[in-house]
């Protein structure tokens, strides 16, 4: 698959401070999460990809276009929902989003039509003629999403899209993002400090720490791998024959205290067969869990690894 974003030794410096340190990565997912603690360089990376900051070394490519040499072309492919409030307070929602769509190159009739559609799509159809300054926080977030999608970009940058939203509004925003992702005609870059948002919306995650890439993982693959990892608790001590039988079927096994056992099932082996062997070996399985290596675990491991370096 062609990479959505390629970071090729990307370095950004502000004065003597290095903000992004020779980043190298190739992101191919449909929806990519950008994680990292405050000051990790997430916003700087987004701003650099948008062409707001000039790289001091290296470059980045978005959908094959170099952000240094083809900045205008790159920006024509992008929709951007910034983290902070960004709108003109005394403009009505429709007028503002229409202005933004026209600046993206849409003829005014199309811009108006798509603005109305975008407002209905994000659930603001009834308030679209109200001044943006009178919107609630949730409405403002939705209006920012509307202006980001009104011109039909190929890549959507969402910077903290659920910031300050109450649970129902957050759920609605996550559903919208998932819907856009699942349509399949747009790529998403979601920057958030909320691991749950990224976990629910993204299939790839890039974790930044102090301007470096701390980890890059494919959540889909992680999820698939997790399905093969089992934690089993048996009654009494684990029967050695049971372990040998499982290993005979290609399982990796490690025993713990009090009848606990960790198993990694090979491809093709089903959990049902585990129960059958346990029955044959007179082993009573009390509990069986699929190990869930959450994004939080991945994130914490990445942070620990980065600190260790």
Partner 1 sequence: MAVYKKTYRPYDGALTPSLTRFLVIPRYAFEDMQKSRFLTIFYIASFIYPLVCALIIYVQHNASALNLLGAQSARNLISINATFFLNLLGWQSMLALFLAAFIGPGQVSPDLSNNALSLYLARPFSRAEYVIGKMWILIVLMSLMTWVPGLLLFLLQAYLEEGWTWLHDNTGLAIGLFFGSWVWILIMALLALALSAWVKWKPAAGALMFGVFFVAAGFGVAINGVQRTKWGHLLNISALIGAVWVQLFGADPAVNNGGVFFRMPQGQELPLWCCWTSLACFCAMCLYMLHRKIRGAEVIR
**3 in contact with partner 1 (CB under 8 A):** no
175 Cβ partners below 8 Å, 6+ apart?
A: none
CB 155 within 8 Å of CB 186: yes
Interacting residue with partner 1 among 20, 45, 177, 180 (CB under 8 A):
180
Question: Between vectors from CA 151 to CA 148 and to CA 154, what angle results, nearest 5°?
Answer: 80
Q: How far apart are CA 243 and CA 252, in angstroms?
A: 9
**259 in contact with partner 1 (CB under 8 A):** no
- Going by their DSSP bridges, the two strands 212-218 and 57-62 should be labelled as unpaired
123-162 binders of partner 1 (CB under 8 A): 123, 125, 147, 149, 151-152, 154, 157
The size of the interface with partner 1 (CB under 8 A), counted in residues, is 53
Burial code of 262-273, b = ≥16 C-beta within 10 A, e = fewer? ebebeeebeeee
- Going by their DSSP bridges, the two strands 187-191 and 31-35 should be labelled as parallel
**Reduced to 3 states, what is the DSSP secondary structure of residue 272?**
helix
Interacting residue with partner 1 among 53, 170, 172, 187 (CB under 8 A):
53
Query: Which is nearest to 92 in space by CA: 125, 117, 127, 120?
Result: 127
Q: How far is the CB of 31 from partner 1 (least distance, A)?
A: 15
Interacting residue with partner 1 among 1, 2, 15, 38 (CB under 8 A):
15
DSSP state at residue 66: E
3-state secondary structure 96-110: HHHHHHHHCCCCHHH
**82 in contact with partner 1 (CB under 8 A):** yes
**179 in contact with partner 1 (CB under 8 A):** yes
Interacting residue with partner 1 among 84, 258, 282, 309 (CB under 8 A):
84
Query: CB-wise, 121 or 299, nearer to partner 1?
Result: 121
Q: How far is the CB of 68 from partner 1 (least distance, A)?
A: 14
Interacting residue with partner 1 among 25, 63, 86, 194 (CB under 8 A):
86
Residues that bind partner 1 (CB under 8 A): 14-15, 17, 43, 47, 50-53, 72-73, 75-76, 78, 80, 82, 84-90, 95, 99-100, 102-107, 110, 113-114, 116-118, 120-121, 123, 125, 147, 149, 151-152, 154, 157, 179-180, 183, 185-186
């Amino acid at each position: 698959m062609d990479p959505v974003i390629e970071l090729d030794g990307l370095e950004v410096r502000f004065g003597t401070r290095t903000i992004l340190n020779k980043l190298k990565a190739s992101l191919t997912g449909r929806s990519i999460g950008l994680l990292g603690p405050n000051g990790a360089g997430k916003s700087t990376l987004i701003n650099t990809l948008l062409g707001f900051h000039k790289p001091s070394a290296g470059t980045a490519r978005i959908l094959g276009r170099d952000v240094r040499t083809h900045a205008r072309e790159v920006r024509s492919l992008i929709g951007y929902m910034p983290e902070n409030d960004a709108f003109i307070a005394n403009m009505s929602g429709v007028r503002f989003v229409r202005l933004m769509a026209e600046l993206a190159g849409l003829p005014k009739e199309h811009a108006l039509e798509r603005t109305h559609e975008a407002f209905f799509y994000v659930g603001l159809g009834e308030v679209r003629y109200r001044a943006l300054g009178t919107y609630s926080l949730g409405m403002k977030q939705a209006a920012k999403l509307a202006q980001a999608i009104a011109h039909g970009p190929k890549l959507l940058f969402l910077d903290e899209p659920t910031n300050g939203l109450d649970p129902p509004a957050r759920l609605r925003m996550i559903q919208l993002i998932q819907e856009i992702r699942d349509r399949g005609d747009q790529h998403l870059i979601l920057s958030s400090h909320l691991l749950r948002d990224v976990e629910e919306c993204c299939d790839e995650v890039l974790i930044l720490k102090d301007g470096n890439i701390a980890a890059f993982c494919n959540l889909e693959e992680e999820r698939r791998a997790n399905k093969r990892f089992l934690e089993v608790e048996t009654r009494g001590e684990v029967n050695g024959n049971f372990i040998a039988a499982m290993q005979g079927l290609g399982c990796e096994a490690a025993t713990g205290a009090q009848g606990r056992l960790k198993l990694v099932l090979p491809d093709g082996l089903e959990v049902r067969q585990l129960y059958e062997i346990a029955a044959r070996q007179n082993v009573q399985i009390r509990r069986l869990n699929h190990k869930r290596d959450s994004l939080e675990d991945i994130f914490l491991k990445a942070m620990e690894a980065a600190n260790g370096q």
